[in-house]
């Protein structure tokens, strides 16, 4: 394969970066932030941060990252080819081998595999344009498929059948499979109880007028009246904690950068790759202006004029909707220079992920934006001291941010009066698995697991165990069905709310198959940077394989002991949360006696 770029390979890169002769001004990135002349964590300057978007542009245009195109990107961005290859090979959505122009990524993860995913993959087996995929964030409509298409926008498909996947692969025209589907059950659209989801499925996500008529932008107006200090005070009073999994108090994090004198940045984390999680997708698809408004409020409060929205690559529709909202908000003076005549300037730049779960970890996300492999950084320094491009950075999850208008309009105390003392406010839960009505459900903290499952239409068969918090969380038995879903109650029960995944599995579930899938997920997604996680995730999978193949090395009890030791090594010795939690779901299945028989 030639490493000399062909005309079409050059054209694909030039279309994105601008023709070499025209400097940086001519390409799709005409507002190029090559002015990001910041040293960053790695000390590299200026253009390196364009590496991933440039590779994505090549992938989108010609269907793979050919050696010629890779070399031309390197030439244009002054990045050594070996480095760029290291980055390109990190991301599952970038192909370094030539492949068909349309490829279907078929979800084989925890929810889909028990609900038609395995059968779909079997029906499509042997095709070179079908690849198995980790969770695509559409667990409510299994089986889920993402179609990557050279020269055309990517397409999410849910409730897929072999027939429609084959037709789309053959080039059948795009029919948006469910234009009115945003993750929440249609029966919930417009329900009076909803606050965060009140507009989802009700407003046209492309209409700023609709958004404003439904109360949109009242929060920003209030914020500009209040001023940054009072906003942070109100956020602290609300007691809100982050919804991205780590549950850190939002106001305390914000205060840490508000006191710094240098430029600071806001990053909204919309990577959402934890299997079973799809709430942020629903918010961005169904109510994109609310994220734009909320990010603007956050930027104003912390004193940031630039922000990045990192959306997982598997969410093309969410990215389209938010990009449209950003454009419309700018045209209406609600974003950009001098927001609503206040003198405050604020911009949002969308960056797409490349198919790597670890890039949801905030420091891995910084490296990804900066054009490096998405490997987590050692902390300290914490992002609030030295984050993206080495600047103080606030990272917040989509759902966390979307609470802001509510907190400002109703007051921090009113928000804190909802939920419990330690888990204040309202929460979105992602319900899938063996339940009648999968979807995102909005409740106050303190609602029990049983109540949530009932809201979602109840189980479709007797529940053997429920996966709580995602595959980084754990399975809980029916004895915990009355557990109030709060940070404190889950902690006391030795489990975690994580990303608010609630996935019940019935008594006929093959838990050994699920355990193998979870082990394979962590083995695949470990970035490989630190030994306990890189080796531990492989050893964990091997031990399970031996047990389930009926060939344990030292009896099942011996393998269980080994698995416990591996889990401890990963939990205690890994750099980041992926390693810390890579053994927890499997350990919980062992403790519940759902795998391995009697040790």
Ligand X SMILES: Cc1cc2nc3c(=O)[nH]c(=O)nc-3n(C[C@H](O)[C@H](O)[C@H](O)COP(=O)(O)O)c2cc1C
Task: Give 246 or 481: the residue with its C-beta nearer to ligand X.
Answer: 246
| β-bridge mates for residue 128, sequence order | none
CA distances from 125 to 128, 143, 166, 484, 529 (A): 9, 15, 12, 43, 33
Residue 151's Cβ-side half-sphere holds a number of Cα atoms within 13 Å equal to 8
Q: Least distance from C-beta 384 to ligand X, angstroms?
A: 11
Binding partner of 110, given ligand SF4, ligand FES, ligand X, none, CB within 5-8 angstroms per partner class: ligand FES
Q: Which two tokens stand for residue 168?
A: 């789309």
Q: Least distance from C-beta 522 to ligand FES, angstroms?
A: 15
Q: Least distance from C-beta 231 to ligand X, angstroms?
A: 16
Task: Give 365 or 463: the residue with its C-beta nearer to ligand X.
Answer: 365
Q: Does 567 contact ligand SF4 by CB under 6 A?
A: no
Binding partner of 533, given ligand X, ligand FES, ligand SF4, none, CB within 5-8 angstroms per partner class: ligand SF4
**Cα separation, 483 vs 289, whole angstroms:** 35
* Host H or E run for residue 449: helix 449-455
Q: Least distance from C-beta 180 to ligand FES, angstroms?
A: 19
The residues near 20 (Cβ < 8 Å, ≥ 6 apart) are 14, 76
Question: Which residue, among 321, 243, 9, 273, has the nearest Cα to 135 in the 3D structure?
Answer: 273
- CA angle centred on 314, ends 308 and 315, rounded to 5°: 60
Among 66, 526, 540, 567, binds ligand SF4 (CB under 6 A): 526
Task: Give 275 or 498: the residue with its C-beta nearer to ligand FES.
Answer: 275
Q: Least distance from C-beta 228 to ligand X, angstroms?
A: 18
Binding partner of 120, given ligand SF4, ligand X, ligand FES, none, CB within 5-8 angstroms per partner class: none
**Cα separation, 451 vs 586, whole angstroms:** 26
Q: Least distance from C-beta 502 to ligand FES, angstroms?
A: 13
Measured in whole angstroms, the distance separating CA 406 from the mean position of its chain's CA atoms is: 23
Task: Give 299 or 376: the residue with its C-beta nearer to ligand SF4.
Answer: 376
CA distances from 298 to 189, 337, 544 (A): 27, 16, 45
Among 67, 177, 446, 528, binds ligand SF4 (CB under 6 A): 528
Please say whether the dihedral angle defined by the alpha carbons of residues 219, 220, 222 and 228, taken in this order, is positive or negative: positive
Q: Least distance from C-beta 468 to ligand X, angstroms?
A: 16
394 three-class SS:
strand
**Cα separation, 171 vs 167, whole angstroms:** 7
| β-bridge mates for residue 147, sequence order | 104, 155
CA distances from 480 to 442, 451, 488, 597 (A): 21, 12, 14, 22
Contact positions vs ligand X (CB under 6 A): 242-246, 248, 269, 271-274, 358, 360-362, 395-397, 400, 576-578
CA distances from 465 to 110, 138, 503, 584 (A): 13, 21, 9, 14
Q: Least distance from C-beta 221 to ligand SF4, angstroms?
A: 42
Among 575, 586, 589, 590, binds ligand SF4 (CB under 6 A): 575
Q: Least distance from C-beta 521 to ligand X, angstroms?
A: 11
Q: What x/- string results for residues 337 through 376 when contact with ligand SF4 is judged by CB under 6 A?
A: ---------------------x-----------------x
Measured in whole angstroms, the distance separating CA 23 from the mean position of its chain's CA atoms is: 34
Binding partner of 526, given ligand SF4, ligand X, ligand FES, none, CB within 5-8 angstroms per partner class: ligand SF4
Task: Give 271 or 347: the residue with its C-beta nearer to ligand X.
Answer: 271
Binding partner of 579, given ligand SF4, ligand FES, ligand X, none, CB within 5-8 angstroms per partner class: ligand SF4
Task: Give 136 or 318: the residue with its C-beta nearer to ligand FES.
Answer: 136
Contact positions vs ligand FES (CB under 6 A): 107, 109-112, 135-139, 142, 144, 275
Q: Which two tokens stand for residue 391?
A: 């600047």
Residues making contact with ligand SF4 (CB under 6 A): 358, 376, 526-530, 533-534, 574-576, 578-579
């Amino acid at each position: 394969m030639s490493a000399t770029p062909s005309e079409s390979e050059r054209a694909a890169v030039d279309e994105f970066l601008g023709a070499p002769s025209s400097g940086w001004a001519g390409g799709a990135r005409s507002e190029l932030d090559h002015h990001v002349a910041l040293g960053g964590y790695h000390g590299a300057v200026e253009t390196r941060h364009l590496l991933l978007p440039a590779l994505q542009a090549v992938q989108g245009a010609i269907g793979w990252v050919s050696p010629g195109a890779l070399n031309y990107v390197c030439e244009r961005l002054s990045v050594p080819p070996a480095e760029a290859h290291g980055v390109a090979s990190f991301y599952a959505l970038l192909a370094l081998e030539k492949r068909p122009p349309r490829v279907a990524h078929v979800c084989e993860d925890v929810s889909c595999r028990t609900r038609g995913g395995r059968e779909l993959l079997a029906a499509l087996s042997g095709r070179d344009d079908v690849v198995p995929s980790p969770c695509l964030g559409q667990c409510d409509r299994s089986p889920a498929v993402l179609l990557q298409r050279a020269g055309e926008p990517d397409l999410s498909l849910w409730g897929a059948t072999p027939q429609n996947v084959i037709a789309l692969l053959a080039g059948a025209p795009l029919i948006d499979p469910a234009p009115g589907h945003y993750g929440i059950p249609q029966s919930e659209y417009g329900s009076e109880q909803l606050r965060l989801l009140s507009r989802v499925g009700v407003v046209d996500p492309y209409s700023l007028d609709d958004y404003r008529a439904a109360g949109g932008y009242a929060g920003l107006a209030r914020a500009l009246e209040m001023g940054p200090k009072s906003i942070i005070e109100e956020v602290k009073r609300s007691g809100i904690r982050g919804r991205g999994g780590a549950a850190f108090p939002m106001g305390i994090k914000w205060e840490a950068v508000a006191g710094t004198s240098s430029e600071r940045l806001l990053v909204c984390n919309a990577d959402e790759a934890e299997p079973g999680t799809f709430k942020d997708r629903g918010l961005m698809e169904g109510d994109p202006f609310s994220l734009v408004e909320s990010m603007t409020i956050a930027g104003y409060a912390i004193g940031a004029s630039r922000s990045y929205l990192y959306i997982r690559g598997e969410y093309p529709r969410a990215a389209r909707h938010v990009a449209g909202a950003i454009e419309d908000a700018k045209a209406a003076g609600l974003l950009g220079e001098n927001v609503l005549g206040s003198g405050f300037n604020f911009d949002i730049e969308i960056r797409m992920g490349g198919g790597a779960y670890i890039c949801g970890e905030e420091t891995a996300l910084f490296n990804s934006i900066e054009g490096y492999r998405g490997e987590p950084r050692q902390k300290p320094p914490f992002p609030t001291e030295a984050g993206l491009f080495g600047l103080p950075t606030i990272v917040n999850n989509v759902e966390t941010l979307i609470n802001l208008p509510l907190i400002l309009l109703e007051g921090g105390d009113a928000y804190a009066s909802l939920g419990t003392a330690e888990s204040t406010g309202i929460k979105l839960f992602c319900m899938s698995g063996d339940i009648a009505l999968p979807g995102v459900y909005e409740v106050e903290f303190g609602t029990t697991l049983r109540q949530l499952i009932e809201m979602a239409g109840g189980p479709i068969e007797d529940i053997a165990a429920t996966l709580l918090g995602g595959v980084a969380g754990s399975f809980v038995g029916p004895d915990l069905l009355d557990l109030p879903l709060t940070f404190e109650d889950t902690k006391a029960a030795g489990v975690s709310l994580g990303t608010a995944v609630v996935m019940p599995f019935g008594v006929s579930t093959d838990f050994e198959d699920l355990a193998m899938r979870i082990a394979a997920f962590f083995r695949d997604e470990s970035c490989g940077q630190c030994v306990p996680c890189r080796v531990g995730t492989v050893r964990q999978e091997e031990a399970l394989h031996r047990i389930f193949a009926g060939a344990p090395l030292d009896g099942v009890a011996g393998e269980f002991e080994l698995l416990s030791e591996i889990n401890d090594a990963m939990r205690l010795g890994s750099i980041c949360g992926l390693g810390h939690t890579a053994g927890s779901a499997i350990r919980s299945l062992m403790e519940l006696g759902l795998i391995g028989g009697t040790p």
